[in-house]
Amino acid sequence: MAETRISKDEFGRIVGSFPYGPLLVAKVKTIEGRRWHPVEKHRSFPKIEGMLEKILKVFVNENVKIDPSLKGTVPDLQTTNPYPPHRWGREREGVKKLESGLSPKFAFEDLRRELVSRKYSYKDVKGYIYYNGAIRNELGVMATQ
């Protein structure tokens, strides 16, 4: 999975480069003062008070790498998502568990492993897990080990 990089340019602006996603681009467009640079393929943001916090709120569920020169500007900076997509085994607090002891998101770990071993794409795996979960929820069937 591609990562989001936030750094400074030679003019002191905050620069962000991230993989294209229509929803993510729409969120970034809500930040005032942003600018797209097609040649460099990144967005720049003005260096004003609170701008880095606004940017990080947009990228809250992304894997973010921040330039060390910017890290000192925000106290208690959380630079990465505590539950990255490739960490299927982690559990979140407050997630209701099934009778099998697994949280709903992780109930299909065996299916995911099987699909990955057969070289299915990330999108296919995500789709299979989503639709199996939807069927399970519709039927009221609990996952078992």
> pTM higher than 0.85, yes or no?
no
Q: Of 7-16, 20-29, 98-107, where does mean pLDDT reach its minimum?
A: 98-107
Confidence of residue 10 (pLDDT cuts 50, 70, 90): confident
Domain boundaries, the chain: 4-71, 88-145
Reply yes or no on whether the pLDDT at 136 is more than 50: yes
Residues facing 27 on adjacent strands: none
What is the enclosing helix (H) or strand (E) of 17? strand 14-17
Please, are residues 19 and 80 in contact by the beta-carbon 8 Å criterion? no
Dihedral angle, C-alpha 24, 26, 32, 38, nearest 10 ° = 80
- H helices of 1-145, in order, are 22-28, 51-58, 68-71, 109-117, 122-139
User: How far apart (Å, rounded) are the C-alpha atoms in residues 37 and 105?
Assistant: 38
Over range 115-123, report the average pLDDT.
88
Please, are residues 75 and 46 in contact by the beta-carbon 8 Å criterion? no
Reply yes or no on whether the pLDDT at 13 is more than 50: yes
User: How far apart (Å, rounded) are the C-alpha atoms in residues 30 and 118?
Assistant: 40
Over range 85-95, report the average pLDDT.
47
Sign of the torsion formed by the C-alpha atoms of 18, 20, 22 and 23: negative
